[in-house]
Chain A
Amino acid sequence: MSLFGLELRKHRVLIGGMLLVAFLWAAWMARQLLAGKSLVTLAIDIGFLFALTPVGLLVPIVLARTLSGEAAGPLAFLLTSPRRGWAHVAARFSVALATLAVYYAVLAGISAWVASSVGIEYDAWLPPATWAYVLAAWVAPMVLVGIVYGLVVAAYRPGRGGQIVAVAAAFGLFKTWSWLVSQAGEHLSFLPQLPIPRLTVPHEVAPYLGLAPGDLDLQSSLQTFVDGIPTAPVFVGLLLTVGLFLIAARLWEEVEWA
């Protein structure tokens, strides 16, 4: 059993549950759409809910399980293993990222399908590009924020004052993250840009999206303002991912088992 297999086995109920929810939603949408119902508004609302579910619900559950379950015993066997901290962190990170990648792939697939069904036209590369963009710019660093937070608590067991500092530090990290994205967007002009995708929304769908009546052509609308989609958030996300991974790997060496 590899470390990856161990993490997969440890969280298999959560992972299975999460993927089941995603696939159930896909099946439900398919049924409704095949019955000829227009569900754009509902799909968008549920889409937002499901897009936020992993962060809002699953991350705290996984953290709580990690802290309460392993701290009781198995952690001693993991910590005394000569395998370096980065190997353990890599296993945790890859299992979480792989699960979320499948989850968001299902969401992207459903969104693309709903869009096609209601007559929205778009470039074929848009759904996979959006999926990759979200994973790199947002999901990967968020997973590592969760892992680092769990390791900080395990390593230093902060008291009440320390927990306030940890929460403040987490807010500070998100603020820094946002600042880095804006700075990179403004000052790193050499970063490549993605072309503005072709996306046309027919006039009968526009009201569901909160748009003014009439056909919407995203490409021609945006091209007057910007040259392309900035990739700065992706680069900042990758930078944060690498940085937080190194911090997590180092923190593993500090964890105590009292």
Chain B
Amino acid sequence: MLVEMNGVTRRFGKTVAVDGLSLELPSGEVVGLLGTNGAGKSTTLKLMAGLLYPDAGEVRLNGQPPRSARGQLAFLPERGQMYDWLDPKGAAGLFSTLYPDFRPRRFFELLEQLEVPNRALNQMSKGQRARFLLAATLARKARLYLLDEPLGGVDLITRDRILAALVSEWREDATYLLSTHEVAEAEGIFDRAVFMKEGQVVLTASAEELRERGQSVAQAFREVLA
């Protein structure tokens, strides 16, 4: 298994964001992490990325703690921000320094595909910034991509462009875990859906299993999480 989470709990004060969560993800899948607001999706992704430590339980990526496996994972935070003064060329330089697996040529291809203008981040719109950071994340040759709400707050055309970029980037040796509210738009690309509610996984089902049940991901979302 590429990702293993066993009995993971994370609290913020009195709030239990993730509550005894156990989850296993194999290699080579596009997985949707689905849930309503406050279900614990972002916290789960941050725990996998090693940006948060669990209060209880264990997270393993390829058998290692997340911080030791940083070279194998690419994380796109929700409302991700980067230094405002960075332009694509500067970002390519910085990301090449930070991540040995960063592919500058692929980054520029993705920027073109996502129609991101060649200027500094402080001269871009919110949607352009989001696409810029998505391109930087996907330009890494990681084993695990953790994308927190990559479709949040963008228009339909942009959403299609992002999904097309994701599909074009898909590799068999990598797993893509996307948290999203945009279930209907994204469900065509999921191999598996993980449904979260109140910090716990309430259902994990492959697209095939859902088809056998005669359900779309959106229908299962409504049924499981309502």
Chain A contact residues, CB within 8 Å of chain B? 1-3, 6, 9-10, 72-74, 76-83, 253, 256-258
Contact = CB atoms under 8 A, between A and B. Distances in A.
A80 B50 contact: yes
A258 to B, nearest CB: 6
A258 B50 CA distance: 11
13 contacts: A2-B97, A6-B94, A73-B79, A74-B82, A77-B82, A77-B98, A79-B51, A80-B50, A80-B51, A80-B74, A81-B70, A257-B52, A258-B12
A188 to B, nearest CB: 39
Interface string B22-64: 0000000000000000000000001001111100000000000
Contact of B90 (A1, A77, A256): A1
A76 B97 contact: no
Contacts of B49: 76, 80
A2 B53 CA distance: 28
Contacts of B98: 77-78, 81, 83
B67 A253 contact: yes
Given A2-B97, A73-B81, A74-B82, A80 B52 contact: no
Contact of A76 (B73, B80, B95, B100): B80
Interface centre among B75, B79, B97 (most CB of A within 10 A): B97
Nearest to B82: A74
B77 A73 contact: yes
The SS class assigned to the A binding surface is loop
Given A3-B97, A9-B85, A78-B98, A258 B80 contact: no
Contacts of B93: 1
Contacts of A3: 97
Contacts of B50: 79-80
A51 B12 CA distance: 43
Contact of B51 (A1, A6, A74, A256): A256
Nearest to B75: A80
A256 B70 CA distance: 14
B99 interface: yes
Contacts of A6: 94, 97
Nearest to A81: B98
Interface of B: 12, 46, 49-53, 67, 70-71, 73-75, 77, 79-83, 85, 90, 93-95, 97-100
Contacts of B46: 257-258
Contacts of A257: 46, 51-52, 77
A196 B179 CA distance: 68
Contacts of B100: 82
A78 B80 CA distance: 12
Interface centre among A2, A10, A76, A253 (most CB of B within 10 A): A76
A81 B137 CA distance: 12
A73 B84 CA distance: 11
A83 B53 CA distance: 19
A2 B12 CA distance: 35
Contacts of B75: 76, 80
A249 to B, nearest CB: 13
Given A10-B83, A73-B77, A76-B77, A256 B53 contact: yes
A44 to B, nearest CB: 40
Contacts of B97: 1-3, 6, 83
A77 B93 CA distance: 14
B188 to A, nearest CB: 28
Contact of B52 (A2, A9, A253, A256): A256
Contacts of B99: 81-82
Nearest to B91: A1
> Can you list the 10 inter-chain pairs with the closest CB atoms, starting with the nearest?
A73-B81, A82-B71, A1-B93, A81-B98, A257-B51, A82-B70, A1-B94, A76-B77, A80-B75, A256-B52
A77 B86 CA distance: 14
Nearest to A253: B67
A79 B99 CA distance: 11
A80 B80 CA distance: 13
Nearest to B17: A258
B73 to A, nearest CB: 7
A77 B132 CA distance: 14
